């Protein structure tokens, strides 16, 4: 193979320097960070047939992001053109496909390519990655192959594998069944009797849309959710015009970031004054949304603290439950019959369509990919008590391996893209010596020290134990059935970004030819993306004071001055 700065090509892609699993927001971000460092010899292995990850998987009616578009976007690719404050799935996917094109990612992506297994080879200091190929045509070239890579990076995230419940009789249902993350738009639900199992973030988006045309819809709720007003609206053309100026775009994003960071305490801390405010807001929202259904108010009010589960936002879910063709059913589901759903009291309700809005297999990170690290160490065994990693990005005994949106990096209060960008920048710096060693015809293996990863996890678990997430009154996708919180980060985004703003080489074991030559220093400073005002605070304050004074003078003058005709 020629220079490793050479982009992957047809003849060389099975000997890439870096293999990234997944072409979603994480995998794309990683690829862009590699390109920024002029590392072009990487491949992205994508199971599906499109970029976009979760935004191409989830196409259900009403699918949108619950974080503002100005924040749920890459810092380096902000848009003035978002049509709404909360972007819909199609708009986000268009944004992502545009970025994949703009940065030239497509030649690096192998679609319909599923990573089945990756095994670390001590002798060559490389990963051997087994890939299976799907798709009628792609599989005609070959049904599977092995690829070698010096670095393996997972971009599969936490919300990748749909979770189907285990309910007796599901297979025998004669109507249509679908999981929310595998929506079948060829099925017309208009005029049909529809059941939605679940009432999470996904169900609260589906229900209002499907209720508009279904003849009847029943929502099966097991546990109530805290839901706050969403206040989604179209971005006004005047605002869009302002946002086309980077200064204002940055201001909007910074304000939103600040606001979300300020919400950290009432999402994560228990029994704060603001937590009570969220409860009051949530209860008020139920009453406002269902003024004529006081019988539902208590049923819809959670007993666990807000933040223990993701706080949802919706303006149309409660009004949808108030429709004549919609019913909220809290009886537990006993089994699925050939015609419908039987509840514990023995009653069966018939349906044409059952929607499983039952979430994702969130605590089984990387499932079902098999990863074997140093000495054949099985990652799933290492994680048998719950997944752990150093800042969610690197794992002991897994050399030259990185994770994006890995263990303990999910947020309840802010945009996950802010975390992903920090991870991607960090990993790009961490693997830089490995790539340079390869350029020099040598090899390096870098893995975090076991004691560093353990100490880090002891610390965050201690903090998480005092958070709302740990409240025993609620189960959630943030934790294992034993109650270990494997998914969420306890702190603010800024704290996390600062933690990853430098690679401390003393955190890592480095093994290889002439290793000091490629690492050398104690620390590599990366810095982090700061969502800060484009002007200093004092300039901003001065500007605001002048604006207020000028406005006051103008208004006073307008009142005092005779009107000109
Ligand atoms: P969630 O938030 O995991 O919600 C899943 C829902 O499905 C929830 O209401 C569950 O009830 C319900 N569920 C799961 N299994 C069953 C069974 N067996 N019977 C009845 N009900 C069941 O997934 P979402 O897709 O809504 O959202 C996931 C994230 O995606 C979201 O937080 C956003 O970040 C994007 P439970 O509450 O467990 O009683």
List pLDDT tens digits, range 426-477.
Answer: 999 999 999 999 999 999 999 999 999 999 999 999 999 999 999 998 899 9
- 3-state SS class at 356: strand
CA atoms within 13 A on the CB side of 180: 29
Regarding the beta carbon of 200 and ligand 1, being less than 6 Å apart is answered yes
Confidence at residue 548, expressed as pLDDT on a 0 to 100 scale: 61
**Is the distance from the beta carbon of residue 454 to the nearest atom of ligand 1 less than 6 Å?**
no
CA of 538 to the centre of ligand 1 (A): 46
Count of residues making up the chain: 565
Q: Is 477 in the pocket of ligand 1 (CB under 6 A)?
A: yes
Is 203 touching ligand 1 by the criterion CB < 6 Å?
yes
| Eight-state DSSP code of residue 485 | B
Q: Which residue's CA lies nearest to atom 12 of ligand 1? A: 198
Mean of pLDDT values over 17-24: 98
Q: Please identify, by atom number, the ligand 1 atom nearest to the C-alpha of residue 225.
A: 37
Helix (H, G, I), strand (E, B) or coil at 237: helix
Give the angle subtended at the CA of 239 by the CAs of 237 and 244, to the nearest 5°.
95
Task: Tell me, in angstroms, the distance from the centre of ligand 1 to residue 311's CA.
Answer: 13
Residue 191: both structure tokens together: 């005029």
Q: What is the mean pLDDT of the chain?
A: 93
pLDDT digits (tens, 9 = 90+) for 117-176: 999 999 999 999 999 999 999 999 999 999 999 999 999 999 999 999 999 999 999 999
Cα-Cα-Cα-Cα torsion 276, 278, 279, 280, nearest 10 degrees, comes to: 90
In angstroms, what is the span from residue 159 Cα to ligand 1's centroid? 12
Ligand 1 center to residue 444 CA distance, Å?
43
CA of 203 to the centre of ligand 1 (A): 8
Q: Ligand 1 within 6 A of 220 CB?
A: yes
What residue spans define the domains of the chain? Answer: 3-159+362-444+486-525, 170-356, 537-565
On the question of a common fold for 3-159+362-444+486-525 and 170-356, the answer reads: yes
Q: Is 312 in the pocket of ligand 1 (CB under 6 A)?
A: no
- Distance between Cα 476 and ligand 1 center (Å): 8
pLDDT band at 7 (very low <50, low <70, confident <90, very high): confident
CA 268 to centroid of ligand 1, rounded, Å: 20
CATH 3.30.70.20 fits 170-356, yes or no: no
pTM: 0.93
Note whether 211 and 326 are within 8 A (CB): yes
Ligand 1 centre from 357 Cα, in Å?
A: 6
| 535-544 per-position pLDDT tens digit | 565 665 665 5
197 C-beta closer than 6 A to ligand 1? yes
Among 182, 197, 359, say which to mutate for ligand 1: greatest number of ligand atoms within 8 Å of CB: 359
Measured by CA distance, the residue closest to atom 18 of ligand 1 is 165
* DSSP per position, 362-395: -SSTTTT-EEE-GGG-BHHHHTTT----BTTTB-
Residue nearest to atom 37 of ligand 1 (CA): 223
CA–centroid distance, residue 355 to ligand 1 (Å): 12
What percent of the residues of the chain are helix, what percent strand, and what percent coil, each to the nearest 5? 35, 20, 45
Instruction: State what percent of residues in the chain have pLDDT above 90.
Output: 86
Cα 198 to ligand 1 centroid, rounded to whole Å: 5
For ligand 1, atom 17, name the residue with the nearest CA. 165
Q: Which atom of ligand 1 is nearest to the CA of 201?
A: 26
Query: Is residue 499's pLDDT more than 50?
Result: yes
Cis ω for the linkage preceding 26 (within 30 of 0): no
Give the contacts of 465 (CB within 8 A, at least 6 positions apart): none
Residue 263 and residue 287: Cα distance in Å, rounded? 24
Separation of CA 201 and ligand 1 centre (Å): 8
Residues 202, 63: Cα–Cα separation, whole Å: 7
Q: Rounded to a whole number, what is the distance in angstroms from the first to the last CA of the chain?
A: 80
Question: Could you give the CA distance from residue 427 to residue 430 in angstroms, rounded to a whole number?
Answer: 5
What distance in angstroms lies between residue 301's CA and the mean position of ligand 1's atoms? 16
311-326 tens-digit pLDDT: 999 999 999 999 999 9
Is the CB of residue 341 below 6 angstroms from any atom belonging to ligand 1? no
Taking the CB of residue 275, how many other CB atoms lie within 10 A of it? 19
Query: How far, in Å, is the centroid of ligand 1 from the Cα of 199?
Result: 6
Neighbours of 52 (CB within 10 A): 23
With a 6 Å cutoff on the Cβ, whether 159 touches ligand 1 is yes
Sort strands 508-512 and 333-336 into parallel, antiparallel or unpaired: unpaired
The finding on whether 196 has its CB within 6 A of some atom of ligand 1 is no
d(CA 110, CA 49): 9
Can you tell me the distance from the alpha carbon of 553 to that of 559, in angstroms, rounded to the nearest whole number? 10
pLDDT beyond 70 at 90:
yes
Confidence of residue 558 (pLDDT cuts 50, 70, 90): very low
Nearest to 497 by CA among 435, 551, 418, 432: 418
Sheet-wide strand order for 348-350: 333-336, 340-343, 348-350
3-159+362-444+486-525 has CATH 3.50.50.60 classification: yes
Torsion of CA 220, 226, 229, 234, to 10 degrees: -60
Ligand 1: residue whose CA is nearest its atom 31: 201
Atom of ligand 1 nearest to the CA of 199: 9
């Amino acid at each position: 193979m020629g220079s490793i700065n050479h982009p992957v090509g047809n003849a060389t892609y099975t000997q890439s320097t870096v293999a990234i699993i997944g072409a979603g927001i994480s995998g794309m971000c990683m690829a862009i960070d590699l390109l920024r460092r002029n590392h072009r010899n990487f491949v992205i292995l994508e199971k599906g047939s499109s970029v976009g990850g979760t935004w191409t998987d989830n196409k259900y009616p009403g699918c949108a992001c619950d974080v503002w578009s100005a924040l749920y976007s890459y810092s380096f690719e902000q848009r003035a053109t978002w049509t709404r404050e909360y972007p819909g799935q199609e708009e986000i996917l268009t944004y992502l496909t545009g970025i994949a094109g703009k940065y030239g990612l497509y030649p690096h992506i192998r679609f319909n390519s599923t990573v089945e297994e990756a095994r670390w080879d001590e002798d060559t200091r490389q990963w051997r990655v087994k890939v299976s190929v799907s798709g009628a045509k792609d599989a005609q070239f070959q049904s599977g192959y092995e690829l070698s890579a010096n670095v393996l990076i997972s971009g599969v995230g936490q919300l990748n594998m749909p979770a189907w419940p285990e309910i007796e009789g599901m297979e025998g249902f004669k109507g249509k069944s679908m999981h929310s993350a595998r929506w079948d738009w060829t099925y017309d639900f208009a005029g049909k009797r529809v059941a939605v199992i679940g009432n999470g973030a996904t169900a609260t988006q589906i229900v209002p849309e499907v209720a508009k045309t279904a003849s009847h819809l029943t929502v099966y709720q097991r546990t109530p959710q805290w839901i706050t007003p969403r206040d989604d609206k179209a971005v006004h053309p005047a605002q869009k015009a302002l946002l086309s100026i980077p200064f204002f775009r940055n201001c909007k994003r910074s304000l939103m970031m600040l606001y979300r960071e300020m919400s950290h305490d009432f999402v994560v801390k228990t029994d704060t004054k603001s937590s009570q405010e969220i409860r009051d807001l949530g209860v008020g929202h139920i009453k406002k949304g269902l003024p004529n259904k006081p019988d539902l108010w208590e049923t819809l009010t959670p007993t666990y603290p807000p933040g223990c589960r993701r706080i949802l936002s919706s303006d149309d879910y409660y009004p949808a439950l108030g429709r004549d063709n919609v019913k909220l059913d809290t009886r537990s589901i006993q089994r699925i019959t050939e015609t419908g759903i039987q509840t514990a009291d023995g009653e069966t309700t018939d349906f044409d369509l059952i929607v499983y809005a039952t979430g994702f297999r969130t605590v089984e990170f990387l499932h079902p990919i098999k990863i074997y690290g140093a000495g054949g160490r099985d990652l799933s065994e290492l994680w048998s008590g719950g997944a752990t990693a150093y800042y969610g990005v690197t794992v002991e005994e897994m050399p030259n391996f990185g994770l994006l949106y890995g263990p303990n990096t999910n947020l309840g209060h802010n945009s996950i893209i802010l975390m992903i960008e920090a991870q991607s920048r960090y990993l790009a710096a961490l693997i830089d010596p490995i790539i340079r060693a390869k350029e020099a015809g040598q090899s390096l293996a870098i893995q975090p020290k076991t004691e560093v990863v353990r100490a880090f996890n002891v610390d965050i678990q201690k903090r998480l134990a005092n958070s709302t997430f740990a409240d025993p009154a609620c189960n959630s996708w943030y934790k294992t059935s034993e109650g270990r919180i494997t998914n969420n980060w306890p702190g603010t985004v800024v704290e996390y970004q600062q933690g990853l703003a430098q690679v401390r080489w003393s955190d890592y074991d480095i093994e290889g030819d002439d290793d000091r030559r490629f690492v050398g220093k104690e620390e590599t400073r990366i810095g982090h993306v700061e969502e800060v005002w484009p002007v200093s605070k004092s300039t901003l304050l001065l500007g605001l004071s002048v604006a207020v004074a000028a406005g006051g003078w103008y208004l006073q003058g307008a009142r005092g001055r005779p009107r000109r005709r």
